[in-house]
Structure 1
Amino acid sequence: MNYRMVAFVLGRIFAIEAGLMLFPLICAMLYGEWYLLPAFLLPAALLAVLGFITSHKTPKNTTIFARDGLAIVALVWVLMSAFGALPFVISGEIPSFIDAFFETVSGFTTTGSTILTDVEALSHGTLYWRSFSHWVGGMGVLVFAMAVLPMTDGRAMHLMRAEIPGPTVGKISSKLSDSAKILYAIYFAMTFIEVVLLCAGGMPLFDSLIHTFGTAGTGGFSNKALSVGAYNNPYFEIVIGVFMLLFGINFNLYYFLLLRRFRDAFCSEEMLAYLGIVGFSTVTITLNILHLYDNVGTALRTAFFQVSSIITTTGYASADFNLWPTYSRIVI
């Protein structure tokens, strides 16, 4: 195993995480939460130092074999989560490191489980970091690293194979680094559009960012105890519901649309099956719950939001589907 190259890549990831912590730090400063400065500055400084020590000099042997890729991926997820938990512990908002580690792992892996019983009691800075971890993990930490770090395809391929779930790895460009940049450009654009649409509907900018991060990462962290249902706003439910569905689609298909390869995009068996399941589930659940709502539009919107949330594993909620008839619960 090429230990020096493993340490070099980890060091670059540490430097990236240090930079990412500046965003919640800025958020905390904007809201006057000055007591949070040490909570983000100390871990960021530690990560920056570790990153410099391990990656300031490129190793002579830059080869990455399959087992090196597996080791890097495993260590990245564990160490990023361990350092990412420190702001919660230092701020005192999640005093237990084990609890903070669980919350951070849930964020970076976009699982969405939480140990928090009163999420609204958290500060803006820590809420931002908690949801931002969804956005970072949504596309994959190492995909982001390949987009911003110079790396040959030979080295990147073993990282990609270890990172991506599934038997094969596909490229939308001749170079993996270019593929990562293209995917992130689409990711950025969709994130920006959703934030703008939510703000246009009257949702505060902070709340728009939080819910967009949870939508993009399909993880579902919210700053409201009642999730999206707290707003009781049909417009928000439609926007978030549509974007949950859009972020659940294979991003390669969006690239085909940009290239005007419409046949490749719209004839994808994966997408047709995905949209078919969503369409069938939404229509039949709407008919099944129609008697519970005032009109067809409300029932349709509620059914669509829940189906979109569950099929993408986002987990946002606008209604308690445990109160729905048996058929709807089985389909969900």
Structure 2
Amino acid sequence: MIHYRAIGKVMGALLMLLSLLMFPGLGFSLYFESGDHYPLLMSASASLIVGAIMFFSFAKQDQNIRKREGYLIVTLSWVFMSVFGMLPYMLSGTTATFSDALFETVSGLTTTGASILTDIEVVPEGILFWRSMSQWVGGLGIIVLTVAIFPLLGIGGIELFVAESPGPTSDKLHPRIQETAKRLWLIYVGLTFTLGVLYYFGGMTFFDAVNHALTTMATGGFSTKNASMAFYDSAFIQYSAIIFMFLAGTNFTVIYFGLTGKFDKVWRSDEFKAYASTIIVLAFFITVPVYFYSSQDLEKAFRDTLFQIVSLITTTGFVSADYTSYHDGLTLIFFMLLFLGASAGSTAGGIKFVRHLTFFKNSWLEFKRIVHPRAVVPLKINGDRVTGKIITHIMNFLLIYLMIFVTGSVVISLMGYDILTSFGAVATCLGNVGPGIGKVGPIYNFAFFDPYSKMILSFLMLLGRLELFTILVLFTPYFWRAN
């Protein structure tokens, strides 16, 4: 039996937390006199009131959260946050329709960075800050944050952490789940603050520096400028973004080991080595054709190439140049990057390198097993043997991911869009990247899609952010059967 009352209390706490995260935007609204303080205040108040009613109505209920409740809470939390998170857009008139507001909110919370706003620079500052804050909260996952603070509310969190934690990683910074979540967020906050300082001293305004720091570390890609990072033709700013996008796409456990001087554990990570080496190799080989096709100096060609590679692989989605303008072959390469994803246990979306690594290692070992059918040939990642259960899980994930991509592309194309745009839109939404190819390339946005297509793409963003199974398991009869 599913404990719905326990779920209700947790959802109430999440909505109250969401309301608190809306209030900082009021400060920017009042300072810039942008006129959006009432929509923000009303949205925050509505979230607080509804959350408080739900929380205190079920305050005395049993808070035993099991695996099924955990999956329901994680899925419902993103739905509730999306519904209440879109109130500032609708009440301020920033978006004209429900589908637009929902798309922009889901894109923020899932750190996809795809936008329906055609002129970002006219959006009020308070709304812009909420837009960036939604990505920052969604970056490492609001459930991980609540796992750190829920013990204060008398709510356990281990099943929430299991359901929310991105990627197939079992690394822990601390045996206690609350301590792990707290340390992850301390690293997250520290890196965000450091990057904000670098952006500010690099030439950004204080407001722009804060917003871009939030969305960079979230690997989200929302910008306060229509031209994204191309607006800042500064080597210092763009290299700072490259470094911190790379860090945001690194497993936070690896970052923790690096910060504490345990470099042997950093280099023990096969995923980190594959992640870093892939970026280096791609940057080396792609810079040359970009240099010839773009007619710019070598440093700028290298910077634009490296920036776009890191931005797409980490699913950040910032843009420093139009990567579809060079050559069709290069466009295809950049499109393929939408399917990589960075490291498990990072803020990035996508498939993740550890899954690719497991797939290719297992495929290579399969040839050895064919030649030596009686030999025991184990698959190892980070020196540890990977069980057959994990291999099966990863293979199923890759197959389902491919099936959803193909099905989604067909559905979007049947709704009247060309196949290139359909491929680009589905790939970038499912991978939580932002820019794609076709009419959703780096210099375009998603405003032209009809309301139904936007709803489908919003669902794909949620599906990708929660790594497929967290949502899909809810559609199986096994999940709802009584114990």
Alignment TM-score, normalising by the size of structure 1: 0.94
2:264 aligned residue:
263
1:161 aligned residue:
162
Structure 2 CA distance, aligned partners of 1:59 and 1:153? 10
Q: Secondary structure at the match of 1:260?
A: coil
1:299 aligned residue:
301
2:192 aligned residue:
191
Structure 2 CA distance, aligned partners of 1:273 and 1:3? 43
Structure 2 CA distance, aligned partners of 1:147 and 1:13? 13
State the one-letter code of the partner of 1:308: V
Alignment of 1:214-293 (within 5 A): 214-291=215-292, 292-293=294-295
State the one-letter code of the partner of 1:148: I
Q: Pick one of 313, 324, 328 that aligns with 2:330.
A: 328
2:310 aligned residue:
308
Alignment TM-score, normalising by the size of structure 2: 0.66
1:53 aligned residue:
53
Structure 2 CA distance, aligned partners of 1:124 and 1:154? 35
- In the alignment, structure 1 segments of 5+ residues that lack a partner are none
Structure 1 CA distance, aligned partners of 2:190 and 2:271? 23
Structure 2 CA distance, aligned partners of 1:53 and 1:154? 17
User: 1:12-35 deviations in whole A, cap 9, x for unaligned?
Assistant: 1111111001111111111112x3
Structure 1 CA distance, aligned partners of 2:159 and 2:268? 30
1:10 aligned residue:
11
Structure 1 CA distance, aligned partners of 2:138 and 2:185? 12
Alignment of 1:114-133 (within 5 A): 114-133=115-134
Structure 1 CA distance, aligned partners of 2:25 and 2:227? 23
2:382 aligned residue:
none
1:71 aligned residue:
72
Aligned Cα root-mean-square deviation (Å): 1.9
Structure 1 position 152, deviation (Å): 10
Structure 1 position 230, deviation (Å): 1.4
Q: Secondary structure at the match of 2:281?
A: helix
State the one-letter code of the partner of 2:120: V
Q: Secondary structure at the match of 2:261?
A: coil
Q: Secondary structure at the match of 2:36?
A: helix
Q: Secondary structure at the match of 2:203?
A: coil
1:36 aligned residue:
36
Structure 2 CA distance, aligned partners of 1:267 and 1:212? 29
How many residues align structurally? 331
- In the alignment, structure 2 segments of 5+ residues that lack a partner are 335-483
Alignment of 1:195-214 (within 5 A): 195-214=196-215
- Among the aligned pairs, what percent are the same residue? 36
Q: Which has the higher contact order (CA 8 A, sep 6+)?
A: 2
Structure 2 CA distance, aligned partners of 1:113 and 1:75? 22
Q: Sort the Cα spacing of 1:55 and 1:153 in 2 relative to 1 into closer, same or farther, 3 A.
A: closer
1:146 aligned residue:
147
Structure 2 CA distance, aligned partners of 1:266 and 1:153? 39
Structure 1 position 140, deviation (Å): 0.3
Structure 2 CA distance, aligned partners of 1:289 and 1:37? 45
Bigger share in helix: 1
